[in-house]
């Protein structure tokens, strides 16, 4: 695999698989995007260090919101070893409360670190921060 193939694979994960997994409402499908040794730091949520903790966080979120994310990749850097990469981007998320209140449109800054795990790219680190209001 060269850097172009690695970048395409990571883009596919973020731009296709991530959104599909979130919208699926299946926590295990979402958690499968992440590495075994994960650090997951959502905005205004608990830090998670395992797929099980991500599943718990995801299930708690889906009780409160239906989430429709659209991710934008701004920069991908593939390290020379072709085993690690980082991505900087944004998430435009429509958050619809399950209690019937009006949906919210949120913009998050995102930083992902990817690693190869058993031959597949997985998200090893995910950090979110809200975008400052203009």
pLDDT digits (tens, 9 = 90+) for 84-107: 999 999 999 999 999 999 999 999
55: left (phi over 0), alpha (psi -120 to 50) or beta: alpha
pLDDT band of residue 130 (cuts 50, 70, 90) is confident
Q: Pairing mode, if any, of strands 120-130 and 34-41?
A: parallel
Q: Is the dihedral of CA 85, 42, 59, 36 positive or negative?
A: positive
CB-based contact 70:87 (threshold 8 Å): no
Tell me the domains of the chain and their CATH numbers. 3-130 (3.10.450.50)
pTM: 0.93
Give SS3 for 109. Answer: strand
pLDDT over 70 percentage in the chain: 97
Give the pLDDT score at 20. 96
Six-digit token pair at 21?
């997994």
The number of CA neighbours under 13 Å toward the Cβ of 69 is 24
CA distance 51 to 55: 6
């Amino acid at each position: 695999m060269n850097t172009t193939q690695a970048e395409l694979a990571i883009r596919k994960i973020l731009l296709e698989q991530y959104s599909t997994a979130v919208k699926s409402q299946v926590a295990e499908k979402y958690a499968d995007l992440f590495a075994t040794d994960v650090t997951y730091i959502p905005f205004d949520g608990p830090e998670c260090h395992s797929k099980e903790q991500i599943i718990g966080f995801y299930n708690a979120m889906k009780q409160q919101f239906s989430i429709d994310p659209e991710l934008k990749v701004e920069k991908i850097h593939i390290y020379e070893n072709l085993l690690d990469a980082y991505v900087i981007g944004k998430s435009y998320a429509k958050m619809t409360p399950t209690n019937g209140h009006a949906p919210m449109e949120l913009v998050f800054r995102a930083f992902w670190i990817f690693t190869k795990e058993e031959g597949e790219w997985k998200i090893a680190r995910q950090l979110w921060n809200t975008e400052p209001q203009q």
